[in-house]
Amino acid sequence: MKLADLAAEPKLIPVTLDSELIVEKYGEPLEFWILDRQPIDKYLQMARTNEDNMDQMVVAVNEMILNEEGTPIVSEGKMLPSTVLMEAFTKVIEALGK
């Protein structure tokens, strides 16, 4: 296989938050989207994260949590509830690891 065969435009993929806590609190699973491919600088930014600069990881993940049009959900003064953000954070990390 040629390496060029693996190059493709990033695609939006759905991610579902369906833990017992989320479903109990909101009455149904919550859905958001991420790009199936991320720029290498995002991976590097996350890899350089430690206890002293965890805020950089939060910023990076917030930029990856998108709506179905591919627009960041967390923007212009909009924030997610902390329980939702923490679960979304975990799901983004899991998806990037695949």
Per-residue pLDDT at 47: 75
Instruction: For residue 28, give the DSSP letter.
Output: S
Angle between helices 54-64 and 82-97 (to 10 degrees): 80
Residue-range domains of the chain with CATH: 8-97 (3.30.2220)
Rounded CA-CA distance 1/32 in Å is 33
Per-residue pLDDT at 65: 95
pLDDT tens-place string over residues 37-96: 888 888 777 777 777 777 777 888 888 999 999 999 998 889 999 999 999 988 988 887
